[in-house]
Amino acid sequence: MSFLMYLADFLIYPGLVFAFVVGWFFYWLFRKLRARMQYRRGPPWFQPFADIIKLLSKSSIVPKTAHRKLFVWLAVVLFVSIWATLMFIPAGSSSAPIAFFGDLIALLYLLLIPPLVFVACGPSSSSPYGSIGSNREVVLMLAYESAFTIAIISIAFMTRSLSLSVIVGQQSGFSWLIFRNPFAAAAIFLCLVGKLHLKPFDIPEAEQEIVAGTVTEYSGKFLGLIEISRTLLWYIAGVLFADLFLGGGDGLPPPWCVIDLLIKASIVVFTLTIVNVASARYRIDQAFTWYLKIPIPLSLIGLALAFVIGG
């Protein structure tokens, strides 16, 4: 496929609507389940959508002391990076809209952009709360990105492929990677908890201490873009884990492959919710130490296992 065809697919990608709807459902499911587990009623099904509509309808305020261009464009860069990430993730079928040998590396780079954007959001706003949140985000990112990258490399060694579509295709017939390399699966799952800022790793935006952390000064349409991006991150987290370790759509014909994938991704979201509800917030030093003691060793064991099996 030529570069122009890739560009056209990116600009008019209809899967963005699908990803937003599914991400919206996952985010609502997370909030509803969390509320029920805490003996609360929880939000109605339309609440995430209503929140985004409200934000997009409000005026955007840029602080006088902020770096205006950087402050504004960071929200746009976050959304575009998430949008680009969706192009590389198979949604039920064995191939993604953009698939080539090495797309797993491209996916790693794209998934690194959102935490870097959140790191830059704090200083760009000149808010003390944002700066503290950015410092915490940097420390946490160094920990979970290390484990995440090592675990992804172990998957590549085990499947002898750098193509996500090929990795999904190799798991047909219940030959799921979660059974073949549970250590890498556990490491990536724990890294997703950090990427989504769920407890016990929500310290970069601890509202009791630093309001909303790095995005404290964002409002209106800019905050709306950030919330849309976070909604899409829920889709990416659930579907990516299902593709990497649960066989994706298991090679089923449409629409059963999509239904199969969404059921698996929903189970991932349910498990993330249990971790969030059952955990208390760590201090940033505790979170960093915990990643050094558990997810990183798990990812290294997974890499060693991949060498043994793959070799």
Q: Which spans in the chain are helix H?
A: 3-11, 15-37, 47-57, 68-86, 103-125, 128-159, 164-169, 177-180, 182-195, 207-210, 220-245, 256-278, 284-293, 295-310
Would the pLDDT of 311 be above 80?
no
Q: What is the mean pLDDT of residues 77-83?
A: 89
pLDDT surpassing 50 at residue 3: no
Residue-level pLDDT at 8: 46
Whole-model pTM? 0.87
Q: How far apart are CA 234 and CA 229, in angstroms?
A: 9
**Whole-number Å distance between alpha carbons of 147 and 140:** 11
48-60 tens-digit pLDDT: 888 888 888 888 7
Quote the percentage of the chain above a pLDDT of 90: 21
Percentage of the chain surpassing pLDDT 70? Answer: 93
pLDDT digits (tens, 9 = 90+) for 229-283: 889 999 999 999 998 998 887 777 777 788 888 999 999 999 999 999 888 888 8
Query: What letter does residue 212 receive in the DSSP assignment?
Result: T
Q: Does the pLDDT value for residue 10 go beyond 60?
A: no
pLDDT at 173 over 70: yes
The model's confidence at residue 93, banded by pLDDT at 50, 70 and 90, is low
**Model pLDDT, residue 271:** 93
Per the structure block, which two tokens stand in for 65?
């002391």
Model confidence at 182, pLDDT cuts 50, 70, 90, reads very high
Q: For residue range 17-39, what is the model confidence (pLDDT) as tens digits?
A: 888 889 889 999 999 999 988 88
pLDDT of residue 215: 82
d(CA 205, CA 134): 9
